[in-house]
Amino acid sequence: MEINSLWKFRVDPEKHGESLKWFTDFDSDIEIAVPGSWNEQLEEIGLLHYIGLAWYSRRMFLPAHFSGQRIWLRIGSADFSSKVWVNGSFVGTGEFGFLPYDFEITNFVKTGCENLIVVAVSNELNDDSLPQGIKSEDYTNDNRIREETNPPARFDFCPFGGIHRPVMAYTTPRTYIKNLSVDMKITLPSTGGIGVTAEVGGDELCSLSVRLLDKEGNVVAESDPGDSGLRRELIVNDCRFWSQDDPYLYTLVANLKSGTEFKDEHSLEIGVREVKIEGDSLLLNGKKIFLRGYGKHEDFSVIGRGLFLPLTVKDFELMKWTNSNSFRTSHYPYAEEILSYADKKGILVISEAPAVSLDLRYVSSKALDNHKRFIQSMVERDRNHPSVIIWSLGNEPNIVGDQGYYDGSGKDYWKEIFEFTKSLDKSRPVTVPNCTRAGLDDPVFQFSDILSINRYYGWYEYPGNLNLAIAKLTRDMEELHKRYGKPVLVTEFGADSLPGVHSTSLQMFTEEYQMRLIEGYIQCIESKPYSVGEMVWNFADFRTPQHFRRVVLNLKGVFTRSREPKLSAFKLKELWADKRRFS
């Protein structure tokens, strides 16, 4: 049961709501739509740049037939943290943004009547949070006053606040399937090996059985009914592998029993496929692939970072229209609905943890622990999506150019993060995009399976000089590959452009300059045998904190914020139509 639409809303800049017991409800005439950010919806009451706490409340009617089962409340995401009460009782905390939280509320609710949900959401960040926060004093202390943004942020996207993904109430049986984790191994030409492990909630001893259905509903493989335990393995002969050209999904049905008694059943769409790095190549089902795509954001006018499915449909159509095959969820995990859509549409995804512009000087053991727990939840949430082919564990560490980063602190930190991720999932390559300022000695390269670089030559460095830009890009790519001997992926490159501004010669901010820079980079990247892809920054213009470098939006979009194509979009469509290099 979805609990979206309008919620009562009240900001709490003084943070006195809890002592005034607002969790038992509060007075307010203001309403806000969920999912959606408060920033643009409620700009007129002063919330465009609001950083702080805000309270949401809503009554939900729970039907009588919910009784006798476990009742759950799920918040798809509330950024960047939240606390939840039901009928005045505290039920839990959503520690991280961008990820869902499920709270069991069985003992706090009554069925056949209305129940009160109150959520306090904060978009404040600090040194230990993910993403890490920054204060105005930090800029002053570092002598970086000209870099300060309003609101202060370590990153170049709006720190939108609010409940950003759907809220739901649902039931499960008392003994239930808590989690299903699917792993695979393929044998060419056409055998699929699928492993399914279930985690069970409740105290009964259970066993799992699974069956796999094709699109027509035929059972193509099933587990042996005599087996017990919570792990099952299936072999699928003549398996139709999932790929960007044929995103074929099977339906996996998992059934839980205690003795002979049925307990729970769950179905999941899965794609059978295998991702590998071999030498300098990225392979999908043994075939070389090359990523042609974008860095994106969850960002749109009015709704902010809120999930808006018409936009998802439109964006995927536009990605296909430009002949792209992939995107990176810069700089945080996107809504599950978007990943499921990528599974269906055959779009390849790099899913990213929000450790963006991590400043190791302020990192404590708590921050490291938070980063690891975030990755664990992200992997648990997204591991069954065939579209997710690479994990990105952060973005552009050491943007401040701190020397200490290279003497061990950076290395120790990233070693632990990479090893931890590999211990959770060995089936996907892992990476962290590096920035020019951190340079080619960045410790992330030692641990990454793919060397990812974000480069802005021709924009922040060597502005307006495309020849020098391409020479510098070439030098970085060659040197990187020589030093580390791994495939190279350019995860970001681009230029701002103001739609409608043109010039016959090279001039920054024109549509032509953006187009020519993108074209130059693509020609260079695609000429290197060790490169595995290019991702243009950005798919669409997006809102970002105020700074003299930005005219309200970051204008590096190939599409405007409302998704009209700029010249570059037509150029990409043409360049990416050419598949010669990969056939």
| Residues with active-site annotation | 396, 492
Residue 531 binding ligand BDP, by CB under 6 A: no
Q: Which of 264, 396, 511, 541 binds ligand BDP (CB under 6 A)?
A: 396
Residue 435 binding ligand BDP, by CB under 6 A: yes
Cα separation values, 197 from 121, 172, 230, 522, Å:
34, 19, 6, 42
Q: Which of 312, 398, 454, 514 binds ligand BDP (CB under 6 A)?
A: 454
CA distance 241 to 367: 39
Q: Which is nearer to ligand BDP, 167 or 469 (CB)?
A: 469
> Token match 């806000």: residue?
32
Which residues, 6+ apart, have CB-to-CB distance to 445 below 8 Å?
434, 451, 480, 483, 484, 486
Residue 554 binding ligand BDP, by CB under 6 A: yes
Residue 382 binding ligand BDP, by CB under 6 A: no
Q: Which is nearer to ligand BDP, 547 or 563 (CB)?
A: 547
Q: How far is the CB of 307 from ligand BDP (least distance, A)?
A: 21
Residue 517 binding ligand BDP, by CB under 6 A: no
Residue 156 binding ligand BDP, by CB under 6 A: yes
Is 16 buried (19+), middle (13-18) or exposed (0-12) by CB count in 10 A? exposed
Cα separation values, 243 from 10, 114, 283, Å:
47, 46, 11
Residue 392 binding ligand BDP, by CB under 6 A: no
Cα separation values, 424 from 284, 286, 355, 368, Å:
20, 23, 18, 16
Q: How far is the CB of 525 from ligand BDP (least distance, A)?
A: 17
Q: Which of 82, 395, 431, 568 binds ligand BDP (CB under 6 A)?
A: 395
Q: Which is nearer to ligand BDP, 92 or 463 (CB)?
A: 463
Q: How far is the CB of 540 from ligand BDP (least distance, A)?
A: 12
**Overall size of the chain counted in residues:** 583
Residue 274 binding ligand BDP, by CB under 6 A: no
Q: How far is the CB of 352 from ligand BDP (least distance, A)?
A: 10
- Site size for ligand BDP, by CB under 6 A? 11
CA distance 449 to 281: 11
Closest chain position to ligand BDP (CB) = 156
CB atoms within 10 A of CB 526: 18
For residue 119, give both structure tokens.
Answer: 């959520």
> Token match 């044929």: residue?
246
Largest CA distance in the chain: 77
Residue 543 binding ligand BDP, by CB under 6 A: no
CA distance 570 to 577: 11
Residue 526 binding ligand BDP, by CB under 6 A: no
Residue 556 binding ligand BDP, by CB under 6 A: yes
Cα separation values, 199 from 33, 203, 383, 395, Å:
35, 12, 14, 32
Q: Which is nearer to ligand BDP, 184 or 525 (CB)?
A: 525
Q: Are 402 and 141 in contact (CB under 8 A)?
A: no
| Binding pattern for the stretch 299-338 against ligand BDP, x by CB under 6 A and - elsewhere | --------------------------------x-------
Q: Which residues of the shown chain bind ligand BDP in the complex (CB under 6 A)?
A: 155-156, 331, 395-396, 435, 454, 492, 537, 554, 556
